[in-house]
C-alpha cells in the first residue's frame, strides 16, 4: 500500500522512478530538459531581436507604414490585406463623399525603385478626381483572387456609409490560379455581421447558377466563423496572452512567413524555377474564378455600382509565365463577357512602356512597375473609364 | 479542447502539477473531475450522457458479474449502450434510408428531422462500454469501486478518439497507485511532441489540398485525384497517429501506459498486416467482439468465415459514420481481407517472413499492392458522397486531363510527393538506421548533445507552423 499522508505523497516526488534508485529531480536536471528550456529561452531572445529588426525594416517600407508622411494620411489599405479592419475607419472617412474603389493585386501598390514623390495608381487617380468631389480608395492585396475581390466589392457596398459609385477591378490572368480568402480578409468578414449576412445571402442566391462558387463562399463563411478562428474565444485569448509572455509565440506569424519564403526560394533553386517559368492554367480553379467574376457583375448591378474590368498591364520586355494560347483565350473570353453584360472593359496589357518597369530576381519584373508605370496606368484608367466614373457619380444611369 | 490547442497545453500543465501535488488518495477523483471538465468544455450537456452511461455500465457490470447465467443480460446491456449511439449518430441515416426505400415503392415520404448534435467521442466510449460488459460476461472481474470505473471510462486522453482500451489492459494500473517517474515524463513529453509535429506540421499542411480535391461538386483531373487521395492517406495517418501519440503521451505523464494504436501501417505487406498496424485497438475490438462471436456462432459452417469477415469490416465502416461511403469503405477492406486470404493467398507473404530474394520481392510486391489498395479505399472514406467518390475514382481511371491538374497547384503536388517519399524513406530506413547508430560507440555521447537541439527545433516548428487548433479527423466519429 502507498502512504496516504500529504507528506508521504510529497515524498513520492523524490522517491524517484520505479526502475532506478536515482531521484526524479536528479534525473530531470541531468537530462535534456534543462538544455531544452535554455535553448527555448535563447530562441525567445533571438526572436525579440529578429522581430525588432523586422519592424524597423517595415517602418521604412512604404507599403505597410500607416503613418506615412502625407497630410491626408493613407488612401489605400496599407496592410495590403493583412489587417483590413485597421485601415477601414480611415478609408470610411474618405467614403463619406462619392467614391470609387480600385481593386487588384500587388501591382496596385508595389513601386519598384521607389522615389519619395512616387504614388500608387489609386493615389494618382484620387489626386485627379478629388477636385471633382470623387475620392478613390485602393483595396489591393498580393495575389488577390476573384473571391477576394467579390468580398471587397461586398464590403465596399455594405460597410462604407454608402456604396461606391464605381468598382474598378484589375483582372490578372495568373490570379485565376488562386482560390480562397486570406486570413486578414477572413477576420474582416468575421467581425462584421452585415457583411456576413450579405456574404451568406449572395452565396445562397448564387447556388443555383454558380454552384462551385456558392459552395466555396459557404466554406469561407464556415472558416471565418469557426470558434478556433475567433480571437475573443478562450483559445484566442490564451494565444494572445501567451504571445505577450513569449516573444517566439508573438513572432510566429512573421516566422511562418519567413519559413514559407525560405521554402519558396529552396523550391526555386532546386527546380530552377524563374519568374518566367510557365504556369499553366488550372481548369477547376479557373472555372471557379470565372464564376466569381460573374457573381461580381450581378452583385454590382443589383447594388447600383458601375463595375469596370481591365486586364492589368504587363512588361512588354519581360517574358511572362503564361501559356500564350491560354492567355489569349482568357482575354478573348473576358472581353466577350464584358460586352455581353455591358460591363465597361479595357485591355491595358501593353499600356505601360518597357522603361517604366523594374527588376525582380535578376531580370525584368513582368508585373510590377516604377512610379512612372503607376502614373501611366492611372492616366489610362482615367482616360478609358473616366466617362463612366463621372456618369455614375452624377447618377445618370451608368450604373 | 483540441490536443494541439493552447487551451490544452495550459489544461495539461495545470492538471499535471495539481495531480502530482495532491495526496495520492485524491488523484483518481481529481483525474475523473479533470476528465469531465475536459469533456464538458466542448458541450457540458453531454457530460451527463457520459456520466449516465458510465453509472449504468458500472452498476450493470457488477450486477451481471454476480450472476451465473448472464448471456441474456449481456444483450440487454449492449442494447442499452447502443441506444444513445443509434439515436445520436444513426437516426438521420436510418430515417433517410427508410424514406428512400419507401419512395422506391412509389409512396411519398418527406421526413423533417431536426439536426442532432453528435456527442464527441460517443462511438469510442460506446464501444468501450460494450467491450467492458462483454468481458465481464466472459469472466472478467468487474470494477468494484465506482471511482475506478469512472476513471477507466472517462480518462480524457482516450475519451474522444481512443485508443479503445479494454478493462484488462488498464485494470492493474487503475487499481494500483501511480508513481511520478522520470521515464514516464520523458517518454510522455516525447510522444506529445511527436504527435504535435505530426498534426501541426504534417497533417494540417495537407488538409487544404485534400479539401480542394474532395469538396462536394469538385471536378478533379487524374493528377488531382491521385495526389488528393495520397494526401488524404498521409493526412489521416499523421492526424490520427498524432492524436494517439498525444493520448498515449498524456496518459504516460500521469503514470498510465496505454496500448499502441499504430505501427507503421503503410509498411504492411498485406491487407491483414495493414489492420494489425492501423488503428490497432479498433481492429482488435472488431476481431474480438464482432468477427469472433459471428464465427463462433456459426462454427459448424466454416465456409461462411469470409462472409463474417466482410460483415465485420462493414460494421467497422458503419461505426466510422452514418454514410454509405463508410459502409462501402468497410466492405472494400472486407473484400481485400477475404481475397488476400483466399484467392491471392499465395501472393501476399506471411508477415515477418524474410529470407530469399524471391521472398523479398514478394514482400515488396505485397507492400505496393497493399498501399495502392488501402489508398484506393481512402477515396470512399474521404468523399462526402458515393457520387463524389465515383467522380474522383473516374478521374483517376480515365486519366482525365492527362498530366494537367485542375485543382491542385504545383506546390501542393510537390509537398504531397515529398511527404510521401519522406514517409517511405523513414519507414524503410528507421530500423536499420537505429540499429546502425546503436552500434556506434560515440553515439550516446553525441545524442546527449544533439537531442536537446533537435527537441528545441521541433518545438520551434510546432510554434511556427501552428495557425489555429484544427480539429482532428477522428473527432467526427
Q: Please indicate if any CB of chain B lies within 8 Å of the CB of A31.
A: yes
Average pLDDT (B288-299) is 88
**Is the pLDDT reported for residue B470 higher than 80?**
no
Q: Which residue has the cell 463562399?
A: A217
Stretch A216-239: mean pLDDT: 82
> What is the pLDDT, as a whole number, of residue A15?
38
Give the number of beta-carbon pairs within 8 Å between A and B: 130
* Residue A302: predicted pLDDT: 93
- Chain A: residue whose CA lies nearest to B42: A227
Q: How confident is the model at residue B300 (pLDDT cuts 50, 70, 90)?
A: confident
State how far the Cα of A19 lies from the Cα of A28, in Å rounded to an integer: 15
For residue A260, list chain B residues with Cβ-Cβ distance below 8 A.
none
Residues near B29 by Cβ (< 8 Å), separated by ≥ 6? B147
- In this prediction, residue A10 carries a pLDDT of 36
Cell 474522444 sits on residue: B160
pLDDT digits (tens, 9 = 90+) for A64-74: 555 554 545 78
A209 strand-pairing partners: none
Cα–Cα distance for residue pair A23/A16, rounded to 1 Å: 4
Residue A248, chain B, CB below 8 Å: the answer is yes
Judge: A12–B24 Cβ closer than 8 Å, yes or no: yes
Most confident by average pLDDT, A24-33, B56-65, B226-235, B432-441: B226-235
Question: Does the pLDDT at position A11 exceed 90?
Answer: no
Tell which wins on pLDDT, B377 or B2: B377
Confidence of residue A19 (pLDDT cuts 50, 70, 90): very low
- Which comes out higher in pLDDT, residue B382 or B299? B382
Interchain contact, A177 vs B218, CB within 8 Å: no
Check if B320 is active-site.
yes
pLDDT for the residue A1? 35
CA–CA distances in Å: residue B334 to residues A119, B262, B272, B280, B327: 67, 20, 10, 16, 10
Q: Which residues of A touch B205 (CB under 8 A)?
A: none
Q: A348-369: buried (b, 16+ CB within 10 Å) or exposed (e) per residue?
A: bbebbeeebbbebeeebbbbbb
CB-based contact B406 A28, cutoff 8 Å = no
What is the average pLDDT value for chain B, to the nearest integer?
89
The confidence score (pLDDT) of residue B358 equals: 76
Q: Residue B205 is placed in which grid cell?
A: 499542411
In degrees and rounded to multiples of 5, residue A169 shows phi and psi of: -125, 120
> What gap in Å lies between CA A333 and CA A330, rounded to an integer?
5
pLDDT at A66 (0 to 100)? 54
Query: Band of the pLDDT at B248, cuts 50, 70, 90?
Result: very high
**Distance (Å) of CA A221 to CA A159, A186, A192, A214:** 17, 8, 12, 11
Of A35, A235, A259, the CB nearest to B464: A259
- Which of the residues B19, B320, B333, B404 is marked catalytic? B320
Enumerate residues 6+ apart whose C-beta is below 8 A from A304. Answer: A163, A399
- As given in the structure block, the three cell numbers for residue B330 are 468497410
Q: Residue A236 phi/psi, 5° resolution? A: -60, -45
Output the pLDDT for position B432: 87
Average pLDDT over residues A114-131: 90
CA distance B458 to B454: 6
CB contacts of B475 in chain A (<8 Å) are none
Lowest-confidence pick of A97-106, B183-192, B352-361, B449-458: B352-361
Mean pLDDT value of segment A291-308: 95
Average pLDDT of the segment spanning A244-254: 90
Chain B interface test: which of A1, A4, A17 (most B C-beta within 10 Å): A17
Of A5, A16, A284, the CB nearest to B218: A284
Question: What residues of A are in contact with residue B177 (Cβ under 8 Å)?
Answer: 2
Q: Report which of A100, A101, A176 is spatially closest to residue A144, judged by C-alpha positions.
A: A176
- Does any CB of chain B come closer than 8 Å to the CB of residue A245? no
Query: How much is the average pLDDT of B227-256?
Result: 95
Using a CB-CB cut-off of 8 Å, the residues of chain A touching B445 are none
Please name which of A205, A99, A213 lies closest in space to residue A156, comparing C-alpha atoms.
Answer: A99
Q: Are strands A98-104 and A166-171 parallel, antiparallel or unpaired?
A: parallel
**pLDDT value, residue A3:** 37
CA A103/CA A109 separation, integer angstroms: 10
Residues contacting residue B457 through CB under 8 Å, at least 6 positions apart? none
Could you give the residue ranges of the DSSP H alpha helices within chain A?
6-15, 24-30, 33-59, 84-94, 121-129, 146-159, 183-190, 193-206, 211-225, 234-245, 247-250, 252-271, 283-302, 324-340, 371-394
Is A219 within 8 Å of chain B by CB? yes
Cβ contact (<8 Å) for B181 and A16?
yes
Q: What percent of chain B has pLDDT over 70?
A: 97
CB neighbourhood size of A19 (10 A): 9
Whether omega for the bond prior to residue B406 falls within 30 degrees of 0, making it cis, is: no
Average pLDDT, integer, range B455-471? 83
Instruction: Please indicate if any CB of chain B lies within 8 Å of the CB of A283.
Output: yes
Instruction: For residue B441, list its beta bridge partners.
Output: none
Q: Which of A35, A211, A235 sits opposite B469 (nearest CB)?
A: A235
Amino acid at each position: 500500500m502507498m502512504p496516504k499522508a500529504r507528506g508521504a505523497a510529497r515524498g513520492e516526488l523524490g522517491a524517484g522512478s520505479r526502475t532506478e534508485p536515482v531521484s526524479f529531480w536528479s534525473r530531470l536536471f541531468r537530462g535534456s530538459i534543462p538544455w531544452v528550456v535554455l535553448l527555448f529561452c535563447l530562441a525567445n531572445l533571438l526572436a525579440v531581436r529578429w522581430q525588432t529588426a523586422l519592424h524597423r525594416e517595415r517602418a521604412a517600407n512604404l507599403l505597410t507604414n500607416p503613418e506615412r508622411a502625407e497630410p491626408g494620411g493613407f488612401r489605400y489599405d496599407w496592410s495590403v490585406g493583412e489587417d483590413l479592419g485597421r485601415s477601414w475607419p480611415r478609408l470610411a472617412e474618405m467614403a463619406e463623399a462619392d467614391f470609387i474603389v480600385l481593386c487588384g493585386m500587388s501591382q496596385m501598390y508595389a513601386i519598384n525603385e521607389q522615389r519619395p514623390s512616387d504614388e500608387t495608381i489609386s493615389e494618382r487617380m484620387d489626386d485627379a478626381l478629388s477636385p471633382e468631389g470623387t475620392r478613390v480608395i485602393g483595396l489591393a492585396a498580393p495575389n488577390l483572387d476573384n473571391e477576394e475581390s467579390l468580398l471587397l466589392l461586398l464590403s465596399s457596398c455594405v460597410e462604407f456609409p454608402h456604396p461606391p459609385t464605381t468598382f474598378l477591378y484589375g483582372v490578372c490572368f495568373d490570379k485565376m490560379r488562386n482560390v480562397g480568402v486570406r486570413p486578414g480578409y477572413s477576420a474582416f468578414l468575421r467581425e462584421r455581421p452585415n457583411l456576413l449576412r450579405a456574404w451568406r445571402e449572395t452565396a445562397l442566391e448564387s447556388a443555383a447558377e454558380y454552384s462551385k462558387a456558392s459552395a466555396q463562399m459557404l466554406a469561407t463563411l464556415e472558416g471565418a466563423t469557426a470558434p478556433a478562428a475567433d480571437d475573443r474565444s478562450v483559445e484566442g485569448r490564451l494565444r494572445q496572452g501567451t504571445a505577450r509572455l513569449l516573444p517566439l509565440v508573438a513572432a510566429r506569424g512573421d516566422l511562418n512567413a519567413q519559413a514559407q519564403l525560405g521554402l519558396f526560394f529552396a523550391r526555386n533553386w532546386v527546380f530552377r524555377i524563374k519568374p518566367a517559368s510557365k504556369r499553366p492554367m488550372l481548369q477547376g480553379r479557373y472555372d471557379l474564378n470565372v464564376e466569381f467574376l460573374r457573381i461580381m457583375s450581378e452583385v454590382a448591378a443589383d447594388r447600383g455600382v458601375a463595375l469596370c474590368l481591365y486586364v492589368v498591364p504587363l512588361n512588354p520586355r519581360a517574358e511572362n509565365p503564361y501559356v500564350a494560347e491560354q492567355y489569349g483565350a482568357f482575354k478573348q473570353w473576358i472581353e466577350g463577357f464584358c460586352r455581353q453584360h455591358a460591363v465597361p472593359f479595357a485591355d491595358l496589357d501593353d499600356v505601360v512602356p518597357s522603361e517604366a518597369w523594374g527588376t525582380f530576381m535578376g531580370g525584368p519584373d513582368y508585373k510590377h512597375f516604377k512610379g512612372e508605370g503607376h502614373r501611366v496606368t492611372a492616366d489610362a484608367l482615367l482616360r478609358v473609364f473616366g466617362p463612366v466614373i463621372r456618369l455614375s457619380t452624377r447618377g445618370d444611369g451608368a450604373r | 479542447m483540441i490536443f494541439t490547442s493552447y487551451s490544452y497545453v495550459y489544461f495539461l500543465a495545470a492538471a499535471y502539477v495539481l495531480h502530482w501535488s495532491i495526496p495520492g488518495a485524491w488523484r483518481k477523483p481529481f483525474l475523473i473531475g479533470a476528465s469531465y471538465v475536459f469533456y464538458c468544455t466542448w458541450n457540458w450537456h453531454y457530460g451527463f450522457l457520459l456520466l449516465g452511461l458510465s453509472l449504468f455500465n458500472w452498476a450493470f457490470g457488477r450486477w451481471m458479474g454476480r450472476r451465473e447465467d448472464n448471456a441474456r443480460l449481456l444483450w440487454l446491456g449492449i442494447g442499452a449502450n447502443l441506444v444513445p449511439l443509434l439515436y445520436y449518430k444513426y437516426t438521420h441515416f436510418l430515417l433517410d434510408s427508410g424514406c428512400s426505400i419507401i419512395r422506391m415503392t412509389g409512396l411519398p415520404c418527406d421526413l423533417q428531422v431536426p439536426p442532432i448534435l453528435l456527442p464527441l467521442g460517443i462511438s469510442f466510449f460506446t464501444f468501450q462500454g460494450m467491450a467492458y460488459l462483454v468481458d465481464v460476461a466472459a469472466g472478467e472481474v468487474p470494477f468494484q469501486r465506482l471511482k475506478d470505473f469512472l476513471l477507466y471510462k472517462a480518462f480524457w486522453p482516450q475519451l474522444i478518439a481512443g485508443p479503445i482500451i479494454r478493462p484488462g489492459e488498464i485494470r492493474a494500473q487503475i487499481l494500483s497507485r501511480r508513481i511520478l517517474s522520470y521515464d514516464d515524463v520523458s517518454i510522455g513529453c516525447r510522444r506529445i511532441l511527436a504527435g504535435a509535429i505530426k498534426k501541426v506540421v504534417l497533417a494540417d499542411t495537407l488538409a487544404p489540398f485534400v479539401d480542394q480535391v474532395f469538396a462536394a461538386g469538385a471536378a478533379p483531373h487524374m493528377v488531382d485525384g491521385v495526389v488528393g487521395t495520397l494526401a488524404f492517406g498521409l493526412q489521416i495517418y499523421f492526424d490520427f497517429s498524432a492524436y494517439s501519440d498525444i493520448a498515449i503521451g498524456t496518459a504516460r505523464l500521469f503514470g498510465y501506459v496505454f496500448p499502441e494504436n499504430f505501427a507503421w501501417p503503410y509498411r504492411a505487406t498485406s491487407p491483414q498486416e495493414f489492420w494489425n498496424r492501423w488503428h490497432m485497438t479498433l481492429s482488435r475490438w472488431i476481431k474480438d467482439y464482432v468477427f469472433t462471436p459471428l464465427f463462433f456462432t456459426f462454427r459448424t459452417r466454416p465456409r461462411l468465415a469470409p462472409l463474417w469477415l466482410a460483415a465485420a469490416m462493414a460494421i467497422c465502416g458503419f461505426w466510422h459514420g452514418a454514410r454509405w461511403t463508410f459502409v462501402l469503405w468497410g466492405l472494400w477492406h472486407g473484400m481485400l481481407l477475404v481475397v488476400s486470404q483466399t484467392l491471392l493467398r499465395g501472393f501476399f507473404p506471411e508477415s515477418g517472413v524474410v529470407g530469399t530474394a524471391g521472398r523479398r520481392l514478394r514482400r515488396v510486391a505485397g507492400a505496393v499492392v497493399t498501399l495502392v489498395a488501402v489508398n484506393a479505399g481512402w477515396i470512399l472514406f474521404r468523399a462526402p458522397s458515393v457520387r463524389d467518390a465515383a467522380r474522383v475514382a473516374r478521374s483517376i481511371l480515365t486519366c482525365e486531363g492527362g498530366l494537367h491538374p485542375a485543382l491542385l497547384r504545383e506546390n501542393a503536388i510537390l509537398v504531397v510527393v515529398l511527404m510521401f517519399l519522406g514517409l517511405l524513406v523513414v519507414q524503410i530506413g528507421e530500423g536499420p538506421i537505429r540499429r546502425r547508430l546503436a552500434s556506434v560507440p560515440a553515439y550516446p555521447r553525441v545524442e546527449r548533445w544533439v537531442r536537446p537541439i533537435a527537441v528545441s527545433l521541433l518545438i520551434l516548428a510546432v510554434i511556427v507552423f501552428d495557425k489555429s487548433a484544427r480539429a482532428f479527423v477522428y473527432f467526427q466519429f
